[in-house]
Amino acid sequence: MGKYVWNGERLLNRAEASVDVEDRGHTFGDGIYEVFRVYGGKTFEPELHWARFERSARELRIELPLPIAELERGVEELIEADGLAEGIVYLQLTRGAAPRAHPFPAEARPALTAFAKPLERPLSALESGTSVITRPDIRWLRCDIKSLNLLPNVLAKQEASEAGASEAVLHRDGVVTEGSSSNIAIAKDGVVRTHPANNLILHGVTRAVALRLAAELDIRVNEEPFTLDELYAADEAFLLGTTVEVMPIVRVDGRTVANGVPGPIARKLQAAFAKRI
Ligand code: PMP
């Protein structure tokens, strides 16, 4: 955890930063967030993150407290003040503090908080691959909004941890949507498949970057849903996310994916991704 918290106005020492107990993020989960990856002291793909942040705010009708350019400057100042080279910045915006009642409060001012945290790249897992489990996707129908309401994700991730896996891959009636905190793609006969960026998944920045890299590498991509059976029978599978990057999946529900080692498409995407970093 970094030393500072940015509240949209100034940098505070973490010990001095506070949140109102009736902040609507606290009482209703009424807010949005972003997690930016920082490599070499710079945010990775900031335009895609800011575009998503702006869109999430618009969809929930939360007003941005500052123009994006100023938010961006604040995040840069936070990174600099914390001396962060490699890590993440967590940025949250809630509808603000007001006496607890469900309708939007007339008076509340949106409340911004941001902090930085050092985090190393998961190099050994990127090399050897990871294990996942599958769980029903019990979330609402606006998973494209990066809202604070993450209980189904938290419960699924906890089950994954308890099963010795790193991620829970979610499915609706056998159709795979995404991970609890990542997107997922499979490869079969040289073609990559991943759920379309509709209301049922978060439109991941890493997913977007991976699709761009696949196009550059002449790897065919089909943005179509796939089933659990197709996941079990895939030649390759990989998670896509800000902290997991392009993470090969070598086990699903205890069964090995293909021959149980990261495949050639994952390796090509990883190499191209590393170059982007
Ligand atoms: N889906 C969910 C549910 C997530 O929480 C995340 C992580 N933010 C992702 C996908 C991956 O998105 P990104 O690549 O932007 O980190």
- pLDDT tens digits for 208-219? 999 999 999 999
Q: What does the alpha-carbon distance between residue 160 and residue 165 come to, in Å, rounded to a whole number?
A: 5
Q: State mean pLDDT over 90-110.
A: 97
Question: Is-catalytic flag, 275?
Answer: no
Instruction: Point out which residues pair with 255 in neighbouring strands.
Output: 252
> Which among 167, 176, 182 is the best mutation to test ligand 1's pocket, defined by most ligand atoms within 8 Å of the CB?
182
Return the residue whose CA atom lies nearest to atom 10 of ligand 1. 182
Per-residue pLDDT band for 255 (boundaries 50, 70, 90) equals very high
Domains and CATH numbers, the chain: 4-118 (3.30.470.10), 123-276 (3.20.10.10)
| 1 CA to centre of ligand 1 in angstroms | 21
> Which among 92, 194, 242 is the best mutation to test ligand 1's pocket, defined by most ligand atoms within 8 Å of the CB?
242
| Whether pLDDT at 254 is above 90 | yes
Q: Of 85, 142, 87, which is closest to residue 114 (Cα–Cα)? A: 87
% of the chain at pLDDT higher than 90: 99
% of the chain at pLDDT higher than 70: 100
| 200 CA to centre of ligand 1 in angstroms | 12
| Residue 133 main-chain phi, psi, to 5 deg | -115, 170
**Index of the ligand 1 atom closest to the CA of residue 48:** 15
Q: Are 140 and 164 in contact (CB under 8 A)?
A: no
Return the residue whose CA atom lies nearest to atom 5 of ligand 1. 181
Write the pLDDT tens digit of every residue in 31-58: 999 999 999 999 999 999 999 999 999 9
| Residue 274 main-chain phi, psi, to 5 deg | -60, -35
- Average pLDDT for the chain: 98
Contacts of 265 (CB under 8 A, 6+ apart): 187, 190, 192, 219, 236
Q: What is the pLDDT of residue 231?
A: 98
Q: What is the pLDDT of residue 1?
A: 78
Per-residue pLDDT band for 146 (boundaries 50, 70, 90) equals very high
| 197 CA to centre of ligand 1 in angstroms | 12
Q: What is the pLDDT of residue 115?
A: 98
Q: What does the alpha-carbon distance between residue 93 and residue 199 come to, in Å, rounded to a whole number?
A: 21
